[in-house]
Amino acid sequence: MACVNYYRVAVTQRFSPPLSSGTGVSRPVGYLSLASAVVCAAGVTLVQRVGVEGSVQGVAVAFLVVKLLSLTAVGFATYGCYRILLSVYDQRTADKRRRHDAKNLFRLGFGLAGTLAALGVVTEQWVGLLFSLGIVGFAVTFALQQPLFSLIGWLYIMVKRPYQVGDRVAIEDSKGDVVEVSFLVTTLWEINGDLVSSNQPSGRTITLPNSVVLSSHVKNFTQEEFPYVWNELSVQVAYETDFEFATETMRTVADDYLGDEMAARIGRYRERLDETPVELEVQDRPTVNVVQDESWVEFRLRYLAHPRRGQRVKNELYRRILAAFNEHPDRVKFPVSRNR
């Protein structure tokens, strides 16, 4: 379990900006930025009172200096407020996922506010600016449809939470761990793919536009409310096998290995199930299903496991089940190779 937790943290830290390490630095930097904004604003007042002689290509130097200092003040003020509020939120929130989402929201909000303020300083026509932005926004809607859809997809992800940073998901033909959700794209650390199998990382990253959540199926394997899935393990035996003995052996082995842990998790699942109108019978212990084939019988062990431990659990169950079967060769027979 320690390895799993380390892997999960490593996934988030490798591809996401530092969320906690810079928290202590953010607030001093924010205060310094606000102080710089005050200095620039004071410079604007000083230039307006004292005046600066001269012109550049017919434009008064005093006018240019005032505009430059005003824009610099807006930039410092916006950045300072962003850093201070982000630092306050980070210190009050321990969840890295929420800090990641808040950082994107703060960036978007202060970015838009800073841009509007800068345009207002340059044009000095606030009403006309808002009207122009409406016209420009209408035109941009047609010119940048795909980025706009991705931004809408990002808003949908923030509100509905089909997935968040740290979740293991499958979107269209891609499967992996979510390591970053930006305004336009979602970045996955690929699982499986065409390089490896057995739900193992391939080392590659996948970038998907956020708009895919509006038109594609999203499978979340580790959602926060219930981060577990059911797995199946198949063992093929010959028809000469004692079926009752084999099924009971598989159930016993699986129950000894993960039965109590599975029962505790099923309790959480039943609580979620009670909140819905769905009526479903859920077994809280491992079960075995029997499937008949032409040359053998297949026993399918069904159990609950964490997606990131799925292959490890399956390997251990295989080892224990086969060892138990081999202790009773007179009761468990395996199909001969020519029939498989």
> How many CA atoms are closer than 13 Å to the CA of 251, on its beta-carbon side?
14
Q: What local confidence, expressed as pLDDT, does residue 126 receive?
A: 55
Q: Looking at the predicted structure, is the pLDDT value of residue 254 above 90?
A: yes
**How many other C-beta atoms can be found within 10 angstroms of the C-beta atom of residue 119?**
18
Q: What local confidence, expressed as pLDDT, does residue 140 receive?
A: 59
Q: What local confidence, expressed as pLDDT, does residue 131 receive?
A: 56
Q: Looking at the predicted structure, is the pLDDT value of residue 186 above 80?
A: yes
Residue 217 vs residues 175, 206, 258: alpha-carbon distances, Å:
12, 17, 31
- List all residues 6 or more positions away from 31 whose beta carbon is below 8 Å from its beta carbon: 80, 84
**Pair 312, 199: CB distance under 8 Å:** no
Q: What local confidence, expressed as pLDDT, does residue 21 receive?
A: 43
**Looking at this protein, which amino acid is placed at residue 216?**
S
For the record, the structure tokens of 54 come out as 């001269």
Q: Which residue has the higher pLDDT, 134 or 105?
A: 105
Q: What local confidence, expressed as pLDDT, does residue 4 receive?
A: 42
pTM of the shown model: 0.60
pLDDT in tens, 69-124: 888 888 888 888 888 888 887 777 777 767 777 777 778 788 878 877 877 777 76
Radius of gyration of the chain (CA): 30
Q: Looking at the predicted structure, is the pLDDT value of residue 248 above 90?
A: yes
For 185-210, what is the mean pLDDT?
A: 88
Q: Which residue has the higher pLDDT, 232 or 52?
A: 232
Q: What local confidence, expressed as pLDDT, does residue 58 receive?
A: 66
